[in-house]
Structure 1
Amino acid sequence: MSELGKKTLLIVDDEPDIRHLLSDALAQKGYQVFDAQNGVMMWQCLEEHSVDLILMDLYLQEEDGLQLAREVRERFDMPIMMLTGKGDETDRILGLELAADDYMMKPFNLRELTARIHALLRRSNRNMPTQTLSTDHDCLYFGKWILDLTSRQLRDQQGDEVILTLGEFSLLETLATRPDRVLSREQIIDLSRGLETEVFDRTVDVLILRLRRKLEANPKAPEFIKTQRGLGYLFQGPVSKSVS
């Protein structure tokens, strides 16, 4: 985060008019804003500044915005909002699958965009220092995993952290706090704080797949997140909770 407590945003878009419009509008809202027209400039900015959120164009002229988002997610945990001029639901799902936290289509309403940015930043809690797992934290224990609900971290018993996106963590928290209970997709969407923006049933399925890849020894034969055909999903216990 930049000086004076301002949140820092990075706009990655190859259209100068879009970059200038967003930069001016978001700066007026009190954000510090940097912009990049390609991946090279994006990485340079990320190396030089602490960025709190990225707005990424899905369709760059000479680069794949989805691939850039995936590469960013491998190294950083800030929220990523994808922007696109196409309204195909497949693009929305694909963007989520490749690490986006939210999604808006061009042309967009600036008021709605800034509201979503604010919501993502509020939920990310990136102003809080990283904390180690502690008995003072509310933690859930299942298998070899420890889910710290206070610091919003997932670690194994050796202390190695697995990075989760906002949506992934919120979905895992929703399931793990309700073990051995079948939840429909609609219930999961209602209960997951990280899925506040418009989502489809398929979004839940995509997030489940991503969580299985990170949690399960064999994602095709999951130990924890079970599919209940025609009903939804069930988190297989036992799950124990720490005593603060």
Structure 2
Amino acid sequence: MTTAHGSDSWTAAVRRRLDLGRLLPLGGAADGTWLAEHAAAVELRRAAAEVPGTVLGAVRLSPADPDAAEESPVPPPPSALPPGRLRIEAEFGEEFTDMTDEPLPAVADRLRAVLFACATRRLGLRIAEIDLRVTALLERAAEPAGKAAPRHTEPTEPVELRAATPEGEAALTAASVPGVACLTRTLGTAVAGTPGHVRIELATAAGHRPLEVARAVRKRVAARVPGGPSVAVLITAVDVAVDVAP
């Protein structure tokens, strides 16, 4: 018989997993790393805010060609997407004032370039294409003298960051790598695995490229943990303050 408390815990765990979105392959197949879709969307929204006159709507990342998926050399996290190139689909609104404004295709091209740079250079995702859809033409609000009008984008609710206290050789080693803000336990525990393999769940710190942090974690854990296990990394959040407490 399931208790009410047990049911609530199970429901909360499922909700946290769904909040992460898809688990996206980060880097190439040999990198053994995945990034939560929600974390990627947050960074893409930050980048899109740099394009004047655009208001980013829904963002979704999915395999560009499911038939071209690659095989991961390490066991992936549960339900993670296989390594391969991704497609970004996003909706956006364009603010306008009069016919002298920049043509819509040119605005879309600029937004596409910004999103591509963020996804590939900032995060380390492999992007094959970006599909943008204009869903609204918005009247630009008047700007008071000396003040910029506030910008608004579709809200992205923060995922609860469940920091974990490092325990055990693998966890302590991973937590010591520069760029690791904290270990997290969104899927249950910060370190999970089977004989010969460990999965590390973590958040990366501001100013550090997630893919480089993950590579360093995998290399150090494999070298220091007895038996030299294979290592997979799941990044649940990026640009996190390093003083996050468990």
Of structures 1 and 2, the one scoring higher in RCO (CA 8 A, sep 6+) is: 2
TM beyond 0.5: no
* More helix by percentage: 1
- Computing the radius of gyration from Cα coordinates, the structure with the larger value is 2
* More strand by percentage: 2
TM-score normalised by length of structure 1:
0.24
